[in-house]
């Protein structure tokens, strides 16, 4: 098994008027869930299509499982599963028929087919509608079937382009659990395009943020947040009567900064969560009547908005510098 599932160097793809992917370079280690984020039109789907050999690049190279997606397409497709934005199911056929045709196409061993098909239909709660034409399915049912189809040949690398789009909250959660399980237990690599930042934060070991086809951030979600905002912000709930002495103690503590008071909550910045017990002890020693101390770690959503927010060009550049 290769240690690097995907290796992209200077990948570039133009359409008539736009450069959809612009000098993209990155590596995806095998076995992780890699999140691919960015606004509508940022170039996520185009990248997935380049990595699957559906499109050829205008410049740069891509290696997927040590294969060239354009030249080695058939060999690669046997080892990868793809959930595309538009699922291209055959709507005239039933769910079961759709799966059987794909099993054949992807060379699933004959003896394995019935078990896998039934298992997937059950996993995606399609068993009781499995013999109806897919044309009559709801959006979410089609999405679930397309996901089942992508898993049929038990691929070692999965491309999922917005797998939870159009799913109800219960189905979306089940799909997220399934993705996590596939990665954890199956050791599979997942390349996940999503607009759902909470989903990316929860699932992804690493994320890349794309903007106009260019990479603007790359790293683990928590690491990106740490690079943008040093330390940890704490909220400390106090009685107003005890606040003056408590705030004075806070301001005197080494390593504590940005102390503010907005009754009944003080905020302060510390280096990390290890600073909390000492801070609490100092507050209590100063007579602070403390009801709550809650760390508020910045989320991937905070990072995303910081990247795409209204920033002047200079701070924009600075942010991008620290996020790559």
Ligand X SMILES: Nc1ncnc2c1ncn2[C@@H]1O[C@H](COP(=O)(O)OP(=O)(O)OP(=O)(O)O)[C@@H](O)[C@H]1O
Residues near ligand X (CB under 6 A): 15, 18, 20, 38, 40-46, 85
With CB under 5 to 8 Å by kind, the binding choice for 41 among ligand X, Mg ion, none is ligand X
Shortest CB 31 distance to Mg ion, Å: 25
| Closer of 179 and 193 to ligand X (Cβ) | 193
94 binds, among ligand X, Mg ion, none (CB under 5 to 8 A by kind): none
Which of residues 46 and 189 has its CB atom nearest to ligand X in the complex? 46
Out of ligand X, Mg ion, none, what residue 87 binds, judged by CB under 5 to 8 A for its kind, is: none
Instruction: Provide the 3-class DSSP secondary structure of residue 271.
Output: coil
Task: Supply φ then ψ for residue 140, to 5 degrees.
Answer: -65, -35
Report the chain's C-alpha Rg in angstroms.
24
Residues 6+ apart with CB under 8 A from 231: 257, 269, 270, 271, 272
- Is the Cβ of residue 40 or residue 88 nearer to ligand X in the bound state? 40
Residue 98 CB, shortest distance to ligand X, in Å, is 24
Structure tokens at 9: 């160097």
> Residue 165 or residue 284: which is nearer to ligand X going by CB?
165
Do the beta carbons of residue 78 and residue 107 sit within 8 Å?
yes
Least distance to ligand X from the beta carbon of 184, Å? 27
Spell out the residues 6+ positions from residue 167 whose beta carbon is closer than 8 angstroms to its own: 140, 143, 144, 175
Which tokens belong to 65?
A: 């499982």
Check residue 299 and report its DSSP letter.
P
- Looking at the Cβ atoms of 45 and 52, the one nearer to Mg ion is 45
- We find the least distance from the C-beta atom of residue 161 to Mg ion, in angstroms, to be 6
Task: Please provide the distance, in angstroms rounded to a whole number, between the alpha carbons at the two ends of the chain.
Answer: 28
The CA-based dihedral angle spanning residues 52, 55, 61, 67, taken in that order and rounded to the nearest 10 degrees: 30
Give the one entry of Mg ion, ligand X, none that residue 197 binds, where binding means its C-beta sits below a cut-off of 5 to 8 angstroms depending on kind: none
Nearer to Mg ion, 44 or 87 (CB): 44
Q: Is residue 194 close enough to count as binding Mg ion by CB under 5 A?
A: no
- Count of residues touching Mg ion (by CB under 5 A): 2
| Nearest distance in Å: CB 68, ligand X | 21
Reported as type and span, the H/E element at residue 151 is: helix 139-151
Cβ atoms within 10 A of the Cβ of 65, count?
A: 21
Q: Angle of helix 113-123 relative to helix 95-105, nearest 10 degrees?
A: 130
Do residues 261 and 245 touch, judged by C-beta distance below 8 A? no
Comparison of 42 and 192: residue with beta carbon closer to ligand X: 42
Question: In the stretch 240-279, what mask flags binding to Mg ion with x, by CB under 5 A?
Answer: ----------------------------------------
Least separation in angstroms between CB 139 and ligand X: 16
Question: Considering only residues 25-84, where is the footprint of Mg ion by CB under 5 A?
Answer: 44-45
- Contact footprint for Mg ion (CB under 5 A): 44-45
């Amino acid at each position: 098994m290769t240690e690097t599932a995907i290796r992209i160097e200077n990948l570039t793809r133009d359409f008539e008027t736009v450069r959809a992917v612009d000098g993209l370079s990155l590596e995806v280690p095998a076995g992780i869930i890699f999140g691919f984020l960015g606004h509508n039109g940022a170039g996520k789907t185009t990248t997935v299509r380049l990595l699957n050999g559906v499109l050829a690049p205008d410049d740069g190279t891509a290696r997927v499982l040590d294969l060239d997606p354009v030249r080695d397409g058939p060999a690669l497709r046997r080892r990868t599963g793809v959930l595309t934005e538009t699922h291209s199911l055959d709507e005239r056929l039933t769910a079961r028929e759709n799966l059987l045709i794909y099993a054949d196409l992807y060379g699933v061993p004959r003896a394995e087919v019935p078990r896998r098909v039934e298992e997937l239909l059950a996993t995606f709660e399609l068993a009781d509608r499995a013999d109806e034409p897919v044309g009559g399915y709801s959006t979410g049912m089609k999405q679930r079937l397309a996901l089942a189809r992508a898993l049929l040949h038990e691929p070692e690398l999965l491309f999922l382009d917005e797998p939870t789009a159009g799913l109800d909250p219960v189905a979306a959660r089940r799909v997220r659990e399934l993705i996590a399980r596939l990665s954890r237990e199956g050791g599979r690599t997942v390349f996940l395009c999503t607009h759902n930042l909470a989903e990316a934060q929860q699932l992804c070991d690493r994320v890349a943020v794309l903007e106009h086809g260019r990479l603007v951030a790359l790293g683990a979600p928590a690491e990106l947040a740490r690079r943008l905002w040093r330390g940890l912000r704490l909220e400390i709930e106090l009685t107003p009567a005890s606040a003056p002495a408590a705030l004075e103690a806070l301001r005197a503590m080494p390593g504590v900064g940005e102390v503010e008071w907005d009754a009944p909550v003080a905020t302060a910045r510390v280096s990390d969560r290890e600073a909390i017990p000492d801070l609490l002890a100092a507050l209590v020693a100063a007579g602070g009547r403390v009801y709550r101390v809650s760390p508020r770690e910045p989320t991937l959503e905070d990072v995303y908005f910081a990247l795409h927010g209204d920033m002047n060009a200079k701070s924009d550049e600075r942010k991008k510098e620290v996020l790559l």
